[in-house]
Amino acid sequence: MNQIFKKPYIYGIIVIFILYIGLNILFSGFYSTIKLILIYADTVDWFKLGISIILTLGIGLLVSVNAVTTYTKYKERKKCKEGIATAGVGTLGGLVVGICPLCVTGLFPLIFGFLGIGFSFASLPFGGIEIQILVIIILSASLWMLGKNE
């Protein structure tokens, strides 16, 4: 596990992290929400928004570390099918939620919108933050599964 934080692999972690966050911003439409956050700053729940952004950055970091760990395991020819599948589910889950589950679309509500079904993570008890925590748990489990065969 320590080898992925050394020179050739740390660049991969950084690139994947930036690409993941960029895709998340693009899919969720957060680039247009930033303007609205600034306009309606008095009505924004800054605590929930801050937690959501921190969790999104954590998900991005876990996705990038999982990807590089999977690559190194594959290079070593170790079997890690469970970890790869779990990492894939976690990555997709992170893209589903988006950056801020309260104020942006996300991939899942966007797909439901095409089917004519209205859905928002804001209708959940904690405004979608529970989905982000679930994704972090899934990605952490994936990282644990990938690392247990060392």
Give CA torsion, residues 4, 6, 9, 15, to 10 deg: 110
Torsion sign across C-alpha atoms 75, 76, 79, 84:
negative
Q: What residue numbers bound the domain in which 100 lies?
A: 2-147
Burial group, residue 26, by CB count within 10 angstroms (0-12, 13-18, 19+): exposed
Which residues in the chain come in under a pLDDT of 50?
Answer: 104
Domain count, the chain: 1
Could you tell me the CA-to-CA distances from 120 to 10, 40, 128 in Å, in that order? Answer: 36, 20, 8
Predicted pLDDT at 11: 92
82-116 confidence digits (pLDDT tens): 556 666 666 666 666 666 655 545 555 666 666 65
